[in-house]
Amino acid sequence: MSITPQPGIMDIALYVGGQSKLEGHSSPLKLSSNENPYGPSRHAVAALEGSAATLHLYPPTDHADLRAAIAEIHGLDAERIICGAGSDEVLQFLAQCYAGPGDEVIHTEHGFAMYPILARAAGATPVEVRERDRVVDTDAILAACTERTRLIYLTNPGNPTGTMIPVEAVARLADAIPDHVILVLDGAYVEFAEGYDGGAKLVESRNNVVMTRTFSKIHGLGGLRIGWGYGPREIIDVLNRVRQPFNLSNSQLAAAEAAIRDTGFTEHCRSENARLRVWLRDKLLDLGIACDESQANYVLARFADEEEAAGCDAALRAEGILVRRVGGYGFPEALRITVGDEAGCARVIDAIARFKGAA
Ligand code: PMP
């Protein structure tokens, strides 16, 4: 007897996350995973500690309090929200419920590495669509839709590019795609973008759009694994059928609710990030390193070639700084640098300047 996995599973390349350890440096400056340099809200930490009293109790299965808090803060309908162990889990529910063998799942050239993984894990075929000058090309996506397409995964603002797909282009795409296709707007970095609702209005006015969001970035809870999705009632009802009843713990629920209610902290993180990402980009440009305007909490620093990017990465590591090589995302010549706090931004720029011989 030979034990074999389902077709397609062995085509999945393992996801490689940002490194957190660096030999010779006990606490490296980690600018490789778009984490919050200010940590979590202190109210979230207090709620997490308080949740220890309920460790022996199963958590609620409906996440009613957290959904109510999300709905209140964002002005949404709680009945149309689903919570998951990271937004990854909500993205997975979508592939699991709507894509299977023979179906196609569209993602874009520089899109999040999990999209083709989720498609293959569901038995479907991922279809990659080219971007244009590091911005998602919604016309090319429409042209790639077939009668087999079930899902389109889009990140806005993009990762690792930080660029925005114009809101009007996304709305036009939602209107133009065939009836059997769901447009998934992955909003992991929405809170950092100027005046963008993550697609909430599109979700409210269309029956084929789902938005996903996370507590991992602006709320600084990446280590706790909490995300959510917002969509048409019919779709949320479908997703809830595959969701494990206890997919979020009492601790996750308590911390997330406190985090989302701490709007002062959220605003502090947003405004500091907005200020420092402009500073970081300007300094990179001054050093002769190409960098698009970013609407996220990272910038994509594009060097002359792969060799220079690798050299800079090595120089940063030698100084105890971790950034992200993004060759796997189609940018071998680039480094993605998370916008740190003021000291972190200054430190990485000083190190890059030394590498460029400008310091
Ligand atoms: N989407 C994008 C574009 C991301 O960069 C990430 C985090 N790497 C996620 C989704 C998943 O985030 P989480 O599961 O932590 O909510």
Ligand 1 centroid to residue 300 C-alpha, Å: 17
Q: pLDDT per residue over 272-314, tens digit each? A: 999 999 999 999 999 999 999 999 999 999 999 999 999 999 9
d(CA 53, CA 261): 21
Coil, helix or strand at residue 326: strand
Q: 282 CA distance to ligand 1 centroid (A)?
A: 26
**Predicted pLDDT of residue 231:** 98
The reported pLDDT for the residue numbered 358 is 72
41 lines ligand 1 (CB under 6 A): no
Q: What is the pLDDT of residue 359?
A: 63
**Domains of the chain by range and CATH?**
9-39+264-355 (3.90.1150.10), 42-262 (3.40.640.10)
Retrieve residue 135's tokens: 């911005």
CB 112 within 8 A of CB 153: yes
Average pLDDT across the chain, whole number: 96
84 lines ligand 1 (CB under 6 A): no
Ligand 1 center to residue 191 CA distance, Å?
13
Best mutation site among 83, 88, 90 for ligand 1, i.e. most ligand atoms within 8 A of its Cβ? 88
Percentage of the chain lying above the pLDDT 70 cut: 99
Distance CA 235, CA 82 (A): 10
Distance of CA 45 to the CA centre of its chain: 22
Average pLDDT over residues 64-68: 98
Which of 90, 118, 214 to mutate to test ligand 1, by most ligand atoms within 8 A of the CB atom?
214
ipTM of this predicted structure: 0.99
Task: Report CA(216)–ligand 1 centroid distance (Å).
Answer: 8
Task: From residue 124, give the alpha-carbon distance in Å to each of 7, 134, 264.
Answer: 10, 26, 43
- Write down the pLDDT at residue 243: 98
**Binding site membership of 36 for ligand 1 (Cβ less than 6 Å):** no
Tokens of 294: 């970013």
- Predicted confidence (pLDDT) at residue 1 exceeds the cutoff of 70: no
Does residue 222 have its Cβ closer than 6 Å to ligand 1? yes
Whole-number Å distance between alpha carbons of 184 and 152: 6
Alpha helices in 200-262 (DSSP H): 200-205, 233-242, 250-261
Question: Which phi and psi angles does 234 have, rounded to 5°?
Answer: -60, -40
User: Tell me: the pLDDT tens digits for 151-172?
Assistant: 999 999 999 999 999 999 999 9
Residue of 34, 108, 109, 114 best suited for mutating to test ligand 1, as the one with most atoms within 8 Å of CB:
114
Evaluate whether 132 touches 140 at the Cβ level (below 8 Å). yes
Ligand 1, atom nearest to 155 Cα: 3
| Residue 60 Cβ contacting ligand 1 at under 6 Å | no
Token pair belonging to 199? 């697609």
Considering the entire predicted model, what is its pTM?
A: 0.96
Beta bridge partners of 36: none
Cα 330 to chain center, whole Å? 17
The predicted structure's pLDDT at residue 173: 97
Give the nearest ligand 1 atom to 225 CA. 15
Region 147-154: what's the mean pLDDT?
A: 98
pLDDT at 2: 84
Pairing of the two strands 209-214 and 227-230: antiparallel
Supply the residue whose CA is at minimum distance from atom 6 of ligand 1. 188
pLDDT value for 16: 83
Q: Is 92 in the pocket of ligand 1 (CB under 6 A)?
A: no
What is the C-alpha R_g of the chain?
A: 20
For the stretch 244-281, pLDDT in tens is 999 999 999 999 999 999 999 999 999 999 999 999 99
For residue 111, the ligand 1 atom closest to its alpha carbon is 3
CA 42 – CA 259 distance, rounded (Å): 8
Q: Among candidates 207, 263, 214, which has minimal Cα distance to 86? A: 214
